[in-house]
Amino acid sequence: MTASTWFALLGACLLISLTPGAGAINTMNNALNVGFRRSIWGILGQQLALLIQLVIVALGLGLVIAKSPTAFAVIRYVGAAYLIYLGIQQIRARTETDDDSPRSTVDESAWSMFTRGVWVNLLNPKAIVFLVAFIPGFVRTEHDIATQYAQIGVTIVVVDVLIMWLFFALVGRAFRRLTSTARGRRRLNLLFGVLFIGVGLMLVFM
């Protein structure tokens, strides 16, 4: 991959990662609930999903999914249902107390955040369709395909980790000052719940 091609890829990755979506909402929610440092586990789960999607595209299966209305619909509706489920759970989440005592950090396991991150990104068929349209422009058939996909994968993951952790997780952490009371915690649970449900509905209707 030439330097000019890589810089074009880098710019595209930055724009994609900075576009708010389910992964960004999940990252902000994790940072709000478990803190900035531990939110990395959810981000790493999201990266595993991205790598799986990239492998699917590299093997040509992404094109099959993109051209199969049935396969696309199944993944889309399952993904939407999962996001809506997360949203409902967030809205129904109970605060630690019903009074205005200080907020304590939620004790969620790293594995729980990691697996949720995987499913949030993996159950997004539009990501595969986007990669099908996006990745071929950076691959040159006259060069080693595997090496190019490895370079693309590393670039996508590094950029997304940095954007998710150093931007969206910091945004989520900034909300923590609003959760010093039970009322504030309920409002933010409602906000993130509505955001999850909104992205889920977008998967269905857009």
Q: What is the average pLDDT across 191-202?
A: 85
Structure-model confidence comparison of residues 133 and 57, the more confident one: 57
Q: What is the average pLDDT across 70-89?
A: 86
pLDDT at res. 100: 46
- Decide if pLDDT at 32 tops 90: no
94 conformational bin, left if phi > 0, alpha if psi -120 to 50, beta if neither: beta
Lowest-pLDDT range of 79-83, 138-142, 171-175: 138-142
- Give the start-to-end residue ranges of the domains of the chain: 21-205
Q: What is the CA radius of gyration of the chain?
A: 18
Q: What is the average pLDDT across 43-71?
A: 87
- Decide if pLDDT at 11 tops 80: yes
- Decide if pLDDT at 206 tops 80: no
Return d(Cα 40, Cα 54) in angstroms, integer: 21
pLDDT at res. 181: 67
- Decide if pLDDT at 93 tops 90: no
Q: What is the average pLDDT across 126-135?
A: 78
Q: HSE of 53 in the Cβ direction (CA atoms, 13 Å)? A: 29
pLDDT at res. 87: 86
Helices (H) and strands (E) counted in the chain, each on its own, are: 10, 0
- Decide if pLDDT at 157 tops 90: yes
Extract the tokens encoding 203. Answer: 């998967």
Residue 62 pLDDT grade (very low, low, confident, very high; cuts 50, 70, 90): confident
pTM, full prediction: 0.81
Distance of CA 60 to the CA centre of its chain: 23
